[in-house]
Amino acid sequence: MAEDPILSYAPAPEDRSVASVAPSYGLFVDGEFVAPEGEDHITTVNPADAEPLSTIAVATRADVDRAMAAARRASTGVWSTMPAAERGKYLFRIARVVQERSRELAVLETLDNGKPIRESRDVDLPLAAAHFFYHAGWADKLHFATPGGSPHPLGVAAQVIPWNFPLLMLAWKIAPALATGNTVVLKPAETTPLTALAFADICQEVDLPPGVVNIVTGAEETGQALVNHPDADKVAFTGSTAVGREIARSLAGRNTRLTLELGGKGANIVYDDAALDQAVEGIVGGVFFNQGHVCCAGSRLLVQESVADEVLAALKERVSLLRVGDPLDKNTDLGAINSAAQLDRIRQLTEVGTQEAADCWTAPCTLPERGYWFPPTVLSGVTQAHRIAQEEVFGPVLSVLTFRTPEEAVAKANNTAYGLSAGVWSEKSSKLAWTAERLRAGVIWANTFNKLDPASPFGGYKESGYGREGGWHGLEAYLNG
């Protein structure tokens, strides 16, 4: 955005020295950082300037075996037999240390992921700490989460998480697993491993018994070795629907518990009686939050035809105000795209959308020369038949469709293979409730969007996956009985 002559925001960069990045990292197995068996390494880069940050190990099958064995020993030896309240107290400790080290972790997350420091500071970190705090309290109250049952842990959980909310997704996986008495082997995404490795350090700091949490880094092969490991009692995966489908296939016929949190193509329905100024905010936050790298993003705007022009004009005006640039600047609204590969995918799908006759508008902003960047983009005139209305872009690209009646809005919203999230905007509460009841999606936001809370279950219908994370509903995935 061009600097304003009257009131400008001078650069307000966060101090990156608060986070220390080692030149290379090993694996975290059995309470120690260990060298990987193989020689393979991956370089993780800062997407804002494409400069290398660190080198991480690629765990081999043997490394995964070692981590799984450590998790098994910890499971039977200490974690599942410990008094539940004591397990809870470890989680409370973790929650507190995450709070205490939140500035360092926020900077690390922004460096590795490219998201604005405002978001890692105000969203990712508080939510990650809250997730541990919330689940800590469940540890000795599990019988209230499974009325009539006698809950006990499954054993060892193999967990694979994505790069869009690295530490938060780690919290979503590890907190419920530990609270329910399971031990874990977790693989962070290869482009965003740093906060998971910092978390390993936190496990040491709180004296968590060795082997309860193991972190293995690597790419696709490491992930496959982990989710297909014969000793896994539970597999939890967050990522693309394509990979989730493969995991479901490979685990088919095995008695391994599986939860999948996959892609989405969330509809954001704006009725003509909505509070339009706030609806516009919700549309913007819904799709441009975290550069649109959000599985529950409201990437399909369904706006009632009678207010479509007005909403679109206000939307473009508002999007033009987004400040795109240095993720470490406290005034940045939209940061860098996480990787070159993801940038290619966004470009490609946007290109397809434009060719398919959609009207493509991009915000007037100057993108940095180095690193991976994509401007906020609005594609209007989209119909259900367009690929851009069906495929997940996972980037700052909004498709705009219109509808005439509530029935049509619901039909269009549900006309997708996904079913993760949806938004509804109206000042009429009975219509909100009517619409929410008919939407086939796991999370419905009424007059808000992209709200997350540890107490609130999250997860999808249809090909957005199965299982829930958060609330007592999320504990079920880690318990027998």
User: Site residues (CB under 8 A) for other proteins?
Assistant: 4, 6-12, 85, 88-89, 92, 118, 122, 130, 133-134, 136-141, 144-145, 273-278, 281-282, 321, 330-331, 405-406, 427, 429-431, 433-434, 437, 447-448, 454-455, 471-472
The verdict on whether 261 is a catalytic residue reads yes
User: CA 165 to CA 123: how far, in whole Å?
Assistant: 10
Considering the complex, state which of residue 218 and residue 471 has its C-beta at the smaller distance from other proteins. Answer: 471
State the CB neighbour count (10 A cutoff) for residue 155. 21
Q: Given the complex with other proteins, which of 250 and 331 has the nearer CB atom?
A: 331
Catalytic one among 14, 109, 203, 295?
295
Place of tokens 């005439």: 404
Minimum CB–partner distance for residue 94 and other proteins (Å): 13
Q: State residue 359 phi and psi, 5-degree precision.
A: -85, 115
Measured between alpha carbons, how far is 347 from 429 in angstroms, rounded to an integer?
39
77 versus 126: smaller Cβ distance to other proteins? 126
Give least dist CB 245 to other proteins, A: 32
Here the tokens at position 97 are: 């240390």
Exposure on the CB side of residue 100, measured as CA atoms within 13 A: 10
Nearer to other proteins, 262 or 477 (CB): 477
Quick one: which of 466, 413, 461 has its CA closest to 435? 413
Beta strands in 254-376 (DSSP E): 257-261, 267-270, 300-304, 359-362
Q: How far is the CB of 140 from other proteins (least distance, A)?
A: 7
Residues contacting residue 246 through CB under 8 Å, at least 6 positions apart: none
Q: Rounded to the nearest 5°, which phi and psi values hold at 367?
A: -90, 145
Q: What is the largest CA-CA distance in the chain?
A: 66
Separation of alpha carbons 77 and 95, rounded Å: 24
**Is there a catalytic annotation at residue 305?**
no
Q: Which of 14, 109, 119, 261 is catalytic?
A: 261
User: Least distance from C-beta 330 to other proteins, angstroms?
Assistant: 4
Minimum distance, C-beta of residue 455 to other proteins, in the bound complex (Å): 5
- Residue among 418 and 478 whose Cβ is closer to other proteins: 478
Give the shortest CB-137-to-other proteins separation in angstroms. 2
Supply the DSSP string of 301-335, one letter for each residue.
Answer: EEEEGGGHHHHHHHHHHHHHT--BS-TTBTT-SB-
Q: Which is nearer to other proteins, 29 or 84 (CB)?
A: 84
Q: What are the strands, taking DSSP E only, across 127-207?
A: 152-153, 156-160, 183-187
DSSP 473: G
Q: Which residues are catalytic?
A: 261, 295
